[in-house]
Amino acid sequence: KAGVTQTPRYLIKTRGQQVTLSCSPISGHRSVSWYQQTPGQGLQFLFEYFSETQRNKGNFPGRFSGRQFSNSRSEMNVSTLELGDSALYLCASSFGLKETQYFGPGTRLLVL
Amino acid sequence: QQPVQSPQAVILREGEDAVINCSSSKALYSVHWYRQKHGEAPVFLMILLKGGEQKGHEKISASFNEKKQQSSLYLTASQLSYSGTYFCGTETSGNTPLVFGKGTRLSVIA
With CA atoms as reference, the chain A residue closest to B4 would be A42
Among A12-26, A63-77, B31-45, name the one with the lowest average pLDDT: B31-45
Mutate to test the interface with A, among B5, B102, B104, B105 (most CBs of A within 10 A): B102
pLDDT at A98 > cutoff 80: no
Produce one character per residue of B75-92: b if its CB has 16 or more CB atoms within 10 Å, e if not.
beebeeebbbbbbbbbbb
pLDDT at A52: 95
Of the candidates B59, B14, B52, which has an alpha carbon nearest to the alpha carbon of residue B35?
B59
Determine how many CB atoms are found less than 10 A away from the CB of residue A41. 13
Interface of B to A at Cβ within 8 Å reads 2, 30, 32, 34, 40-44, 47, 87, 89, 91, 94-103
Mean pLDDT for each consecutive 10-residue tract of chain B (110 residues)? Answer: 94 96 91 93 89 70 88 94 95 85 95
Task: Residue B94: list chain A partners with CB under 8 A.
Answer: 98
pLDDT at A76: 98
Percent of chain A with pLDDT over 70: 99
**What backbone phi and psi angles, to 5 degrees, belong to B41?**
-80, 155
pLDDT at A91 > cutoff 70: yes
Mutate to test the interface with A, among B35, B36, B98, B104 (most CBs of A within 10 A): B98
pLDDT at A90 > cutoff 90: yes
Q: Show the CA angle centred on residue B98, arms to residues A97 and A4, nearest 5°.
A: 65
Q: Nearest Cβ partner of B87 from A43, A100, A105?
A: A43
Cα Dmax for chain B: 44
pLDDT at B52: 59
